[in-house]
Amino acid sequence: MFDYLIVGSGLAGTTSARLLAEFGKKILVIEKRLHPGGNVYDYYNEHGILVHKYGPHIFHTNYKDVWDFLSRFTEWRNYQHRVLSYVNGQYLPMPINLDTINKLYNTNYNSFTIPHFFNKVKEDIEINNSRDMVISKVGVELYELFFKGYTKKQWDLYPEELDKEVTARIPIRYNRDDRYFTDKYQGIPINGYTNMINNMLVHENICILLKTDYKEVVNWIEYKKMIYTGPIDYFFDYKYGKLPYRSLEFKFETLDQKYYQQVGTVNYPNDYDFTRITEFKHLTGQKSMKTTIVKEYPKEEGEPYYPIPRKENVDLYNLYKKEADKLDNIYFVGRLAKYKYANMDVVIKDAIELVKEVEG
Ligand code: FAD
Ligand code: UDP
């Protein structure tokens, strides 16, 4: 008899499992993939380069408790992610900052004069969607160069068709800070995410069953409570219809050269069919005569990587949530179960709070 059956071994499942195990609870984690870790899984490819199987993952948070929790299971490589956007044949800092503007327009603004520029171009509008969000900060021209094409490629929707939270993820800077994130705590697990996840799972109270969809075995397992981190619509057999998710195809290439690009990620808002190229050695700090890059090609079908934040989807999710709220002793946490475009730290924070609620 297990105290908890946890469906999914991503960060939501693994965090819950570890914390509950430390409360003395007996845990069974069931994972349908061949490996634990969910979308943060990384591995050494045949050229010995550490790569992220489901796309580049950079950890960043302002939550001290989340950082402290993970730091029990890994040391960190101090890494601050930098991104360039390939626009009009130039590689320009993204998020848009002072240097982006000066390079794009061949101007000489400084941090005192740049507000004049932004005040001139930005539009004073009510913010109802992801297009408004950008235009209210930088105006139409920069929106069209940096956001419109990227968003259409990534979501197959125009920014006006998406909730404002999507482009609100990207700030606009009036200074020269060219980091993608400015959170207090940032880094990459020094031996990789998989190593960190495995350290979390190594506990005498945790068993894990891989390569198994929980529905295949759930009726044969005795457990008191369940934590579910898979897609919420699947849990309810799609009774209200399928929630849309956006998927990606990752194409990896290993090249016989030390480095391919200047920074961790280069975004391609207007050229090519992929959205961005990431070079893992920048993230991991690994030394090698070869380098591996990944190109991300958005697609409709496939693994559910991104919930799609727009009203009709949130309405559909709320129907499922209502059902979920009626269930005793079954808890929904994580990006898929809450249908929330959440970063790693938010998912971990939610799992920590959930465990406090049920056992604390
Ligand atoms: P998941 O990692 O999706 O884990 C869910 C697990 O449940 C999976 O392993 C799945 O196989 C399993 N599962 C599902 N259904 C079943 C079932 N029926 N039976 C058994 N098991 C099941 N966040 C950041 O903070 N920084 C980043 O740089 C970043 N980059 C990202 C890049 C990409 C391309 C993507 C897609 C996401 C990125 N994220 C990033 C977000 C991050 O991946 C998520 O916040 C986090 O991994 C979510 O963890 P989770 O446990 O909720 O979900
Ligand atoms: N975005 C954009 N241009 C960029 C970067 C981001 O239009 O150069 C928009 C796009 O809609 C994207 C969203 O902002 O999906 C969030 O970007 P982020 O880099 O946070 O995406 P993620 O890493 O989650 O895929």
Q: For the segment 190-230, what is each residue's pLDDT rounded down to a tens digit?
A: 999 999 999 999 999 999 999 999 999 999 999 999 999 99
Test site for ligand 1: of 42, 52, 57, most ligand atoms within 8 A of the Cβ: 57
Residue among 41, 200, 229, 232 to mutate when testing ligand 1 (max atoms within 8 A of CB):
229
Q: Measuring CA to CA, how many Å separate 19 from each of 59, 189, 341, 360?
A: 20, 20, 24, 10
Question: How does pLDDT run across 5-20, given as a tens digit for each residue?
Answer: 999 999 999 999 999 9
Whether the pLDDT of residue 117 is over 80: the answer is: yes
- Residue 172 Cα to ligand 2 midpoint, Å, equals 13
Q: Mean pLDDT throughout 327-333? A: 97
pTM to 2 decimal places: 0.97
What pLDDT, on the 0 to 100 scale, is given for residue 333? 98
Region label for 5, one of left (φ > 0), alpha (ψ between -120 and 50) or beta (otherwise): beta
What pLDDT does residue 248 have? Answer: 98
Residue 147 tokens read as 């956001």
Cβ atoms of 73 and 96 closer than 8 Å: no
Question: 58 pLDDT exceeds 90?
Answer: yes
pLDDT band at 360 (very low <50, low <70, confident <90, very high): confident
pLDDT in tens, 242-296: 999 999 999 999 999 999 999 999 999 999 999 999 999 999 999 999 999 999 9
Q: Give the whole-number percent of the chain exceeding pLDDT 70.
A: 100
Ligand 2 centre to CA of 352 (Å) is 27
β-pair partners for 29: 6, 208
Strand partners, 28: 5, 207
Widest CA span of the chain, in angstroms?
69
Residue 133 has pLDDT above 80, yes or no: yes
Per-residue model confidence as pLDDT tens digits over 162-200: 999 999 999 999 999 999 999 999 999 999 999 999 999
Q: For residue 109, which phi and psi values (nearest 5 degrees)? A: -65, 150
Strand partners, 228: 7, 332
CA 81 to ligand 1: nearest atom: 28
Give pLDDT, residue 339.
98
Q: Which of 81, 90, 163, 167 to mutate to test the pocket of ligand 2 (most atoms within 8 A of CB)?
A: 167
Measured in Å, residue 13 CA sits from the centre of ligand 1 at 10
Domain boundaries defined on the chain: 2-70+190-242+307-359, 83-167
CA of 154, closest atom in ligand 2: 15
The answer, yes or no, to whether any atom of ligand 1 lies below 6 A from the CB of 291, is: no
- Ligand number nearest CA of 164 is 2
- 229 CA → ligand 1 middle, Å: 9
Cβ of 335 closer than 6 Å to ligand 1, yes or no, is: yes
CATH class for domain 2-70+190-242+307-359? Answer: alpha beta
- Is residue 333 within 8 Å of 350, Cβ to Cβ? yes
Give the count of beta carbons closer than 10 Å to the beta carbon of residue 142. 22
**314 compared with 360, residue with greater pLDDT:** 314
Instruction: Report the nearest-CA residue for atom 12 of ligand 2.
Output: 151
Looking at the predicted structure, is the pLDDT value of residue 91 above 80?
A: yes
**334 Cβ inside 6 Å of ligand 1:** yes
pLDDT score of 225: 98
Torsion of CA 265, 266, 271, 275, to 10 degrees: 20
In percent, the amount of the chain with pLDDT more than 90 equals 100
From atom 30 of ligand 1, which residue's Cα is the shortest distance away?
A: 57
Alpha carbon nearest to ligand 1 atom 29, residue: 57
Looking at all shown ligands, the one closest to residue 264's CA atom is 1
Mean pLDDT calculated for residue range 133-159: 98
